[in-house]
Amino acid sequence: MKFSNLLALGISLSLALSACVGATENGTNSDQPCNFPAIYNFGGSNSDTGGMSASFYPLPPPNGRTFFQRPVGRASDGRLVIDFIAEHLKLPHLSAYLNSLEANFAKGANFAALEATILGTWEGTYLQTGLSTFKLPHQVNVHFDQFKNRTIDLYNQGKHRDSLPKPEDFSRALYTLDIGHTDFTYGFRVIAEDQLRARMPEIVNSLTAHVEVLYDKGARSFWIQNARPVGCLPNTTISISDPKPGSLDQNGCLKSQNEIVTEFNKQLKDKVIELRTKLPEASITLVDVYTAEYDLISSANSHGFTDPLKICCGIHENAEYVKCGNRGIVNGKQVFADSCKNPEQYISWDGIHRTEAANQWIANRIVDGSLSDPPVPIAFACQKMKM
């Protein structure tokens, strides 16, 4: 046999061996990215790309000023973490399911809504509480269910195939969940901390139960972000005019609130471990956004950011508060709550939501898998790892 033929045979055998070694327990190759055809996102205001604006009221300027140069339904000056995730996976920004104008769902859909919660049992209407009507149970059991069934029906009729996903893409897509912080920010306002702590198992169980529902509907790859350090939100810290000694940590964050969120994240991690056994065909990645955001707050200056407890858009002086993009009365005068001139130097956009710069920093920290359990990059999140 000629040397060239022997060489070719050797290379072929080597490639075959590599493929066998690289195969994971669910039959995929660990050295090959997933090439997700679509993303389906469920969440609250941190990942809403226009659903709430389309449904109730459009977010006003200066929202969207940095990247989009106009309001586009995002509570930020620009892109959100979910936008950077889509870009990282070479997919377009997600259209909000509730937005009927200029929407394209070929590569996924976003079911998130501003002020959405995990629990569907918080009492009161939207006008009474400020909470979204489209809580996680509604996003999964109503909106996604209708979207999937209607999409398959239209696709099979040969209609709108250029703007709808292929039916087989639903099982191959990435399902992201970024929700929970509103359960805490609202909960801290309406019930005592010990009562909220007692409700944590209910919140955790609701979140993981809806992962199971999505699994039953064919979802297999999940990217679940844990809860943020809500005790560091400027809207929380600014409202405490006279904090009790020892109530704040070294970064000015409210310790008791962050301790409760940390306990929630621990319970969520334990529940995800159970889910991996219960859902044998699922790949479930739990992402520690809490650590990413708290690390940014702790080292803001070294990363080019100003005081992490300052807000870029809106006015919050003593007891007087004017929401970002709104008009109000401060010191007896009518004012417009505009944004700062340099949002790229701020972590907080409006006291609750992050700036594009902070979202990009956090996205860069999490997509590589270094803060994930298991430690898998998002591009490989369809693959199960032997633990």
Domains along the chain? 23-308+357-380 (3.40.50.1110)
Residue whose pair of structure tokens reads 């270094």 in the numeric block: 370
192 by DSSP, 3-state: which? Answer: coil
The string of pLDDT tens digits covering residues 132-142 is 889 999 999 99
pLDDT for res 122: 75
Whether residue 4 has pLDDT greater than 60: no
93, 210, 316, 353: the catalytic one is 353
45, 47, 206, 283: the catalytic one is 45
From its phi and psi, is residue 165 left (phi > 0), alpha (psi between -120 and 50) or beta?
beta
Average pLDDT over every residue of 187-212: 95
The string of pLDDT tens digits covering residues 304-347 is 999 999 999 999 876 678 999 999 988 888 999 999 999 999 99
From residue 223, give the alpha-carbon distance in Å to each of 75, 94, 247, 259, 341: 22, 16, 33, 24, 34
Q: Does the annotation mark 350 as catalytic?
A: yes
Rounded (10°) angle between helices 193-216 and 255-278: 30
Q: What is the reported pTM? A: 0.90
Q: Does the annotation mark 353 as catalytic?
A: yes
77, 183, 288, 350: the catalytic one is 350
Question: Residues 98, 57: contact at Cβ < 8 Å?
Answer: no
Q: Does the annotation mark 83 as catalytic?
A: no
CA–CA dist 220, 276 (Å, integer): 11
pLDDT for res 277: 96
The string of pLDDT tens digits covering residues 334-380 is 999 999 999 999 999 999 999 999 999 999 999 999 999 999 999 99
